[in-house]
Amino acid sequence: MTLYQGFKVFGDSIAGCAVTIKLCETKITFEADDRAKSCFPFANTDFEIAFQIDDLVSVGLVEDAIQITGFHTETQDSGQIKYKILEDLRIQSEEHNLKTVEELHSDLTRMMPKRTDALPMLIIANPKSGQQKALKICHDMLLPRLDEGAIPFELMVTERQNHAKDYIASCQDLHKKYKAIVIVSGDGLLHEVVQGLCQEGQPIEYQSLALGIVPGGSGNGLARSLAHYNNESYEDKGLMASVVRVLNGATRPMDLTRVTSSDGKTYYSFLSVGWGFFADTDIGSECLRFMVQ
């Protein structure tokens, strides 16, 4: 563990608190000095805040200070994890010792997650999904974080049904053009993308493309299921947790269900399969989407 002392931290609600900074292999801890405990905003009995290295989005050197963007995790009474973003966390040397600042910046940069971002992410947003907030979520929450993390991306805004599926079907060597596909929408657009990736004739390599979802629909079944699986809070519909997963690029395998109907058509499902009364009810309730809060 490496210790740095003689630093002050500034943020949205931090007025230059003196801290000791502890650098471990997997996390960074800011511990308030005794003289600063009265102004330190992170209300726990130890007056410290720690966040995992994998939750760092960017570390930059701005003049004589270090600026960190990252996510701090809080554990609720229920044991669930709640993600909160830390924007513009600014660290300065109390004695304006630029050499010490540069040493700390070098250590933080070395600890940052190593991302191989030669290929961009394909971000697909459906402006009509749910309460039509997906595009706002995309521009307000996801894209700024990708920019701060210097993660390349291309944005595609769908204009019609099957727009994403048709694009995937017509795009050659998709797995060589993008490192991942991230959906900002509900389960419907993700279903469309999965059909495009798995349809007959597509290269098997397409199925190795990482898929991510930032919930922007009505039900957001997969995002809700992932939050439950990861023991995360769903207070904000899993938005912050989903953004964290996209930025970190951590993946895990997920099974699909293949269904072939009596007319020979093949469909792929990542969440559930419904037919008969259930399917009729789902289709017949499309006109009631405006009622979802």
257-260/266-269 β-pairing: antiparallel
88 annotated active-site: no
Q: Are 65 and 91 in contact (CB under 8 A)?
A: yes
Q: Which residues pair with 3 in a beta bridge?
A: 22
10 Å Cβ neighbour count for 76? 10
Q: CA–CA distance from 227 to each of 74, 122, 142, 215 (Å)?
A: 15, 22, 17, 11
132 three-state secondary structure = coil
Query: What b/e string do you get for 20-39 counting C-beta neighbours within 10 Å, with b at 16 or more?
Result: bbbbeeeebbbbbbeebeee
Burial bucket for residue 117 (CB in 10 Å: 0-12, 13-18, 19+): middle
Exactly one of 187, 236, 263, 280 is catalytic; which is it?
Answer: 187
3-state class percentages of the chain: helix first, strand second, coil last, to nearest 5: 35, 30, 35
Report the C-alpha gap between 174 and 156 in whole angstroms. Answer: 14
Active site residues: 187
